[in-house]
Amino acid sequence: MKKYGFVRVGASVPKLVVADCTYNQEQIVQEMIKAEREEVGILTFPELSLTGYTCGDLFFQRDLLTDVLEQLKEILNASEKLELITILGMPLSIDNQLFNCALVIQKGKILGVVPKTYIPNYNEFYEQRWFSSSLDLMKKEVEILGQTVPIGTDLIFRDLDYSEISFGIEICEDLWSVLPPSQDLALNGAHLLFNLSSSNELIGKYQYRRSLVSNQSSKLIAGYVYTSSGVFESSSDVVFSGHALISENWAILTESKRFQFDSEMLIADIDVFKLHTLRMKDISYMGIHPSKPCREIMVHVPDSSTLRRDYERFPFVPHDLTKRTERCHEIFQIQACGLAKRLHHIHCEKTVIGISGGLDSTLAFLVIVEAYKKLGISTKNIVAITMPGFGTTKRTLDNALKLMKAYDVEVREIPIVEASLLHMKDIGHDPKVYDVAYENIQARERTQILMDVANEVGGIVVGTGDLSELALGWCTYNGDHMSMYAVNNSIPKTLVKYLVRFVADSDEKVKDILYDILDTPISPELLLPTEEGEIEQKTEDKIGPYELHDFFLYHFFRYGASLDKILFLATKTFEPDYQEEEIKQWLKVFIKRFFSQQFKRNCLPDGPKVGTVSLSPRGDLRMPSDASVRSWLKNLN
């Protein structure tokens, strides 16, 4: 999975006996073996996991410190048979000082040592009684069990095969400080950050800790792996819960159950390539330079043979119903406020919109109605026009008329068949030839009507096209492609459905109409219907399923994923509904159209950005219209 940027990480909370290094070593080795079976590449343990965090003044005992090294040797011996990288917490005596350290080990070797920087000495903490800060360290190398090992907070461990796969380490309080070491580590290129912690439980601390980890991973655009001591630490004054978290750029991928009386291990696959792309896109990320350079240690991060992670089929649509409802409300308000501001600015109360009885025009119409509510303008100022053509069915025409009448707008029905036939006669086009010209004549005739009516009433035309259509160029240049303000430009087709459903569920007077529109096949209705009067021309039969295209668009544009990675993720996500070859076929359609249709996106009308993906040339996408797609297609052959 490394070739796609995935690194399997683990956070272990092992059973523990305070000050019994032999027992703790045995538990740690068991967890290492378990992690190896699970194909974990990098495994971390809690702070001072070899001794226990709560040893107190026992840290000064020579017998304990001697035993620590003896048991470390046993762990190193056990690691010789394993591939994974292990991050272990233990005390180390160096130059008349004791340091709270993280040791990185692999295959019998100690790769590096990272000491703790911020030593808490407040409330229930008094670590300064035993430990010195990394700031007091006088060496850059240390001798441990006959090995000369780099030591310091400036260590970044980088994979030999993929340079983006790199990690750094901080310890417990370091994260809670004003300037955590992870900040410098991230600015120096570490995409993965590991925190060995011993954080006791207090009322409300769990939520704060969770937020801290999530926010740090977001601020640093990193993967953050956090694990803390469990319930077997001393409970003389405080209780530990074994809280572990794995976060990726704010999102919590997995989280432990707290207060468990057995060892627990979290495992997750972090997408390092995605993090790398996001950092490059966020030009302000390197707005502050690291306070010091880091030393790089080249390592071999083990690979995994499978992906232990699921992806949403509809990445633009929250799976959780509550979150989805909140998201729909927010998006609807963004669209409506964008339009309302435009109308307010130009002192205009008239809008003109074409209503087809399909999803996109329905959503745009509902947005206009909401904008009028905000401005206190009567809906009678909305000029809604339905323009039946060659392919219009009774179902869509009836739904268009019902919807317009339900909101008490000015309704106009202007058939375009005769005007389209006249135009075909003027240019010498056979009306029996159902080609692109036949279809686009109708689209441009409709746009001409809308523009002319807008001039007539002193209003603006509101566009209806969505983000998915723009990505594929599935719109007629200077036809439905054009308007004075386009409210759906950053709404993908899969999300359009949920937004319409959101309004349907909140407005009884149009619920039945909207649900029938939702059940209607997606079609431009430019070709003749069947003999039974049903829609013959179905968009997804021609260009592919929108659920696939929206998935492609999200991962391609948001994260810069390679096409072979997108194919891999889509095949895993959409099985068994689509086979790999079918997905590959539609992915080729997507990427070819995305490149060839850029000229349409380069002259889009204004419209509000809603989500993290927008194709406006004034917003998120600066792309030449004549770029070659060859480099991308090579990844699919």
Cα 329 to chain centroid distance, Å, stands at 20
**What b/e string do you get for 198-211 counting C-beta neighbours within 10 Å, with b at 16 or more?**
bbbbeeeeeeebbe
Identify which of 334, 219, 299, 204 has the alpha carbon closest to the alpha carbon of residue 607: 334
Q: Where in 446-544 does DSSP place strands (E)?
A: 460-463, 485-486
Given 55, 172, 294, 328, the catalytic residue: 172
* DSSP assigned state of 308: -
Contacts of 101 (CB under 8 A, 6+ apart): 89, 90, 91, 92, 113, 114, 115, 116, 151, 171
Concerning whether 603 is annotated as a catalytic residue, the answer is: no
Concerning whether 534 is annotated as a catalytic residue, the answer is: no
| Host H or E run for residue 1 | none
* DSSP assigned state of 240: B
Instruction: State the DSSP string of 610-630.
Output: -SS----TTTT----TT---H
Instruction: State the DSSP string of 183-223.
Output: HHHHHTT--EEEEEE--B--TTHHHHHHHHHHHHHHHTTSE
Give yes or no for a contact between 357 and 398, defined as CB atoms under 8 angstroms apart. yes
Given 2, 116, 274, 600, the catalytic residue: 116
User: Rounded to an integer, what distance in angstroms lies between the CA atom of residue 380 and that of residue 372?
Assistant: 10
Q: Amino acid letter at 463? A: G
Given 47, 164, 170, 370, the catalytic residue: 47
Identify which of 438, 453, 468 has the alpha carbon closest to the alpha carbon of residue 553: 468
Concerning whether 328 is annotated as a catalytic residue, the answer is: no
Contacts by residues 613-620 (CB-CB < 8 Å, ≥ 24 positions apart): 613/316, 613/467, 613/490, 613/492, 613/553, 613/554, 613/557, 613/558, 614/467, 614/489, 614/490, 615/467, 615/470, 615/471, 615/489, 615/490, 615/557, 616/489, 616/490, 620/557
For 507: left if phi > 0, alpha if psi spans -120 to 50, otherwise beta; the answer is beta
Lookup: tokens for 544: 């592919």
Catalytic residues, by residue number, are 47, 116, 172
